[in-house]
Copies of this chain bind each other. A is one copy, B any other.
Amino acid sequence: MPVTLADIQAAHQRIKPHIHRTPLIKSDFINREVGAEIFFKCENFQKVGAFKARGACNAIFSLSDEAAKRGVVTHSSGNHGAALAWAAGLRGIKATVVVPENAPAPKKRAIEGYGATIQYCAPNTAAREAAVSALIGEHGYELIHPFDNDDVIAGQGTAAIELLEDLPNLDIIISPLGGGGLLSGTAIAAKGLKPDIKVFGGEPRGADDGSRSFQSGVRVTSQTPQTICDGLLTVLSERTFGNIRRDVDGIGVASEEGIIRAMRMTWEYGKFICEASCCPPLAAILEGSIDVKGKRVGIIITGGNVDLDRLPWVVK
């Protein structure tokens, strides 16, 4: 049975003692640029620097004692891995994270810093899944998938609950779209609380499986992503695609130049650190792929774990 608003509300109660209630930030400059009132829900200030803390925490604290005792495993380009490591540490259980060798250095340091074991793999889906399967076979670990998991989806949806508690009169919510866990949870929570709200995803044109799947009605099952958004490389799962087809109103796409421009604009005028992977929603607005004129818009800023030595606008 798909995740419901009640599941997300229960997740919120479960994780509240452990997570930050993140602030909303707005910028007069950005509002003038887009002709709308935009509120950034700043999950860059969340535990582990990303919204992924919500889903991981809900999944870890939903485990039976028996499963918890065996430990958990996941694969992640970064933030979900750090989040699972952090949440496992809170419950005092063992976590192993399968990480692609080319993940950003701060994300690798974070996973280890939170006390999880890292196992490296080649940077492709097949290699990740093989490594995970081997660990499950050998140790009986519970897989906490980064997005294809209902407890994770329910946890991610809690950001939208806070957004609508703080701003009941929002017209639109937009989240970045990678595997679809956040967008699923966001849409289920938002439509459950406020049926007439519009929910959109934003993704890079260089990893636009979500948009193509949504438009054709047939899920794109593989792609060769070409984008700096290292958190948005994966394709939707059947589960997340089903949620998104049911509850989401559209998917905007953004160019790489637009994403870098939106990232720099957010840093310069929003005054907070966000990853490139946060920026397809604002970029899609700026490039006309999502129309928000005159509306009150919540954008979920997904994380702030950036390698400060590799900023995309700095020419080396």
What residues of B have a CB within 8 angstroms of the CB of A311 in the complex? 308, 311, 314
| Distance of A261 from chain B, by nearest CB (Å) | 12
Interface residue stretch chosen among A57-65, A153-161, A242-250, A263-271: A263-271
12 contacts between A and B (CB under 8 A): A45-B271, A264-B308, A267-B308, A268-B273, A268-B306, A271-B272, A272-B272, A272-B273, A308-B311, A309-B313, A309-B314, A314-B314
Task: Give A residues with C-beta under 8 Å from B.
Answer: 23, 25, 28, 44-45, 47, 49, 106, 264, 267-268, 271-273, 304, 306, 308-309, 311, 313-314
**For the complex, what is the distance from the CA of A128 to the CA of B214, rounded to whole Å?**
60
Determine whether the beta carbon of B49 is less than 8 Å from that of A271: yes
The copy count of this chain in the complex is: 2
What residues of B have a CB within 8 angstroms of the CB of A273 in the complex? 267-268, 271-273
Q: Which residue of B lies closest to A301 (CB)?
A: B271
Partner of A106, one of B44, B268, B272: B268
**For the complex, what is the distance from the CA of A245 to the CA of B198, rounded to whole Å?**
57
A25, A271, A304, A309: residue with the most chain B Cβ atoms closer than 10 Å: A271
Q: Which residue of B lies closest to A23 (CB)?
A: B23
What residues of B have a CB within 8 angstroms of the CB of A314 in the complex? 309, 311, 314
What residues of B have a CB within 8 angstroms of the CB of A268 in the complex? 106, 273, 306, 308
What residues of B have a CB within 8 angstroms of the CB of A267 in the complex? 273, 308
**For the complex, what is the distance from the CA of A106 to the CA of B44, rounded to whole Å?**
24
Given A106-B268, A273-B273, 6 other A-B residues pairs in contact with their CB atoms under 8 A: A23-B25, A44-B271, A267-B273, A268-B273, A268-B306, A308-B311
